[in-house]
């Protein structure tokens, strides 16, 4: 858990720094940040998904996940409800969604807390090697959070508790049920998550608004699939 706490703190630190600097950034420079962030999302999303494709036990599972998750999100009108609740801050909500995806989806943020939980000390030792993934993730998130907050403002600080809950979930899952989160599940989560990050990049660049928020339930499909599979 120590690695997760440090990771959360770096997002808060980077977020505060970026938000404070935001007032001194001109509009044309903010647009440059948007463009750079959008391109980074495309690369990071592709990098998260494509390398995992060859490892997938069920290559069509990510298609099924996005289809079912998209239908559920659309049926629940997730994007529409959030937009209605925050009309003035629509862009900021998009930024928060993008930030949460960037922080939470990926090998470091999923495998990190699992390895931390399975270590002899449970990840509470500062020098514990199993925390290396989370320390690396914290370093990356420090920079990313500063850029995001400089672009979207103080709302990005809300991503810190979301990351904490996300990593704590996987930590507790691994701590209590070490066999409940097999490698294939992590592979599928990385593929689906990578597609969602790429989708956010397209929206930020203004190429295509894929309503990424409606696709968020897709992340639950691989988890439910492998939980059901383990019961039979």
The model's pLDDT over 73-130, given as tens digits with 9 standing for 90+, comes to: 999 988 787 667 555 555 677 788 888 888 887 667 877 888 788 777 877 888 777 7
Q: Give the pLDDT of residue 162.
A: 93
User: Which of 160, 156, 161, 180 has the alpha carbon at shortest distance from 170?
Assistant: 180
**Average pLDDT for the chain:** 83
CA–CA separation, 32 and 13 (whole Å): 23
Lowest-confidence pick of 11-15, 62-66, 133-137 = 133-137
- Is residue 188 within 8 A of residue 61, CB to CB? The reply is yes
Rg (CA), the chain: 18
CB under 8 Å to 146, separation ≥6 — which residues? Answer: 14, 15, 17, 18, 21
Q: Give the pLDDT of residue 9.
A: 95
CA angle, residues 142, 165, 33, in degrees to nearest 5: 30
* The pLDDT of residue 72 is above 80: yes
Average pLDDT over residues 216-229: 88
- Is residue 197 within 8 A of residue 44, CB to CB? The reply is yes
**What are the residue ranges spanned by the domains of the chain?**
2-230
* The pLDDT of residue 135 is above 70: yes
* The pLDDT of residue 11 is above 80: yes
- Is residue 36 within 8 A of residue 184, CB to CB? The reply is no
The model's pLDDT over 23-56, given as tens digits with 9 standing for 90+, comes to: 766 777 777 877 887 888 788 888 878 888 988 9
Q: Give the pLDDT of residue 10.
A: 94
The structure's pTM equals 0.72
Sorting pLDDT into bands at 50, 70 and 90, what band is 182?
Answer: confident
* The pLDDT of residue 168 is above 90: yes
- Residue 131: what are its φ and ψ, rounded to 5°? -85, 0
């Amino acid at each position: 858990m120590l690695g997760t706490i440090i990771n959360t703190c770096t997002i808060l630190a980077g977020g505060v720094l970026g938000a404070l600097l935001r007032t001194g950034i001109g509009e044309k420079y903010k647009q440059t940040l948007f463009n750079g962030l959008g391109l980074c999302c495309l690369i990071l999303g592709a990098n998260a998904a494509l390398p995992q494709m060859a490892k997938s036990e069920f290559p069509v599972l990510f298609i099924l996940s996005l289809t079912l998750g998209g239908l559920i999100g659309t049926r629940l009108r997730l994007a529409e409800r959030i937009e209605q609740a925050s009309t003035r801050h629509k862009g900021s909500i998009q930024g928060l969604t993008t930030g949460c995806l960037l922080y939470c989806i990926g090998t470091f943020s999923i495998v990190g807390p699992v390895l931390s939980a399975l270590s002899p000390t449970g990840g509470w030792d500062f020098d514990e090697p199993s925390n290396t993934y989370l320390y690396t993730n914290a370093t990356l998130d420090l920079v990313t959070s500063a850029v995001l907050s400089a672009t979207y403002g103080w709302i990005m600080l809300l991503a810190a508790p979301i990351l904490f809950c996300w990593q704590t979930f996987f930590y507790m899952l691994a701590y209590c049920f070490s066999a409940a989160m097999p490698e294939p599940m992590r592979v599928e989560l990385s593929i689906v998550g990578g597609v969602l990050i790429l989708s956010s990049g397209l929206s930020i660049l203004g190429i295509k608004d894929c309503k990424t928020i409606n696709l968020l339930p897709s992340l639950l499909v691989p988890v439910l699939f492998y939980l059901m599979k383990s019961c039979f």
